[in-house]
Amino acid sequence: MRNWSIAGSLEVMPAGDRPDLLAEAVAKELRPEDAETVGVVEIDPDLADTAEFCATYGSPLSASANCVVVAGKRAGELRYAAAMVLATTRADVNNVIKRRLDVRKASFAPMSDAVELTGMAYGGITPIGLPADWPLLLDTAVAEAPELIIGSGLRSSKLLVTGEFLAGLPNAEVIDALAKS
């Protein structure tokens, strides 16, 4: 198992060894060869929000990435995408994502829709195990990060991955300026 410098006070385990700490869709998506390169940590679910998580466990905010679900309509068709940006930035929904989805207006998907469509807990949504027809939009800074802490699909754990791993996921697209400061 890799030594993760961003784990703070948490004990990192191979994600494949702890499927109980993964949303069902996430556990199904991880391949056997990912078992040693994707770490998982168990956390207090009340501390899953990024700022509280980092402050409590000593993980750098600059190494946290958030996954947001975005929706937009075009000719009556509802289109979804997931966007990954560093926690110190925000996704450019109104310009970059709107153009990529080719919709008139894009916005964050309602919480109930995001949870239902992903099978993941709100506040724990992750790019691993998303619906197969959704584009996964990664900001360049995410794709180039040597280590990241992301959701696990549950609020009771986090995953540790590399940007390279995320860029290799199905439907992943690396986009310059996806995030704004």
92-106 per-position pLDDT tens digit: 999 999 999 999 999
Tokens standing for 100?
């990529």
In a domain, 2, yes or no: no
Does the structure show a pLDDT above 80 at 12? Answer: yes
In a domain, 7, yes or no: no
In a domain, 3, yes or no: no
Which domain covers residue 74, as residue numbers?
A: 13-180
Q: From residue 34, give the alpha-carbon distance in Å to each of 14, 55, 64, 124.
A: 9, 28, 20, 20
Look up the pTM and report it: 0.95
Q: Is 93 helix (H, G, I), strand (E, B) or coil?
A: helix
The confidence score (pLDDT) of residue 33 equals: 83
In a domain, 43, yes or no: yes
Does the structure show a pLDDT above 90 at 31? Answer: no
CA distance 83 to 2: 26
Pick the closest to residue 123 from 147, 94, 158 (CA basis): 158
In a domain, 109, yes or no: yes
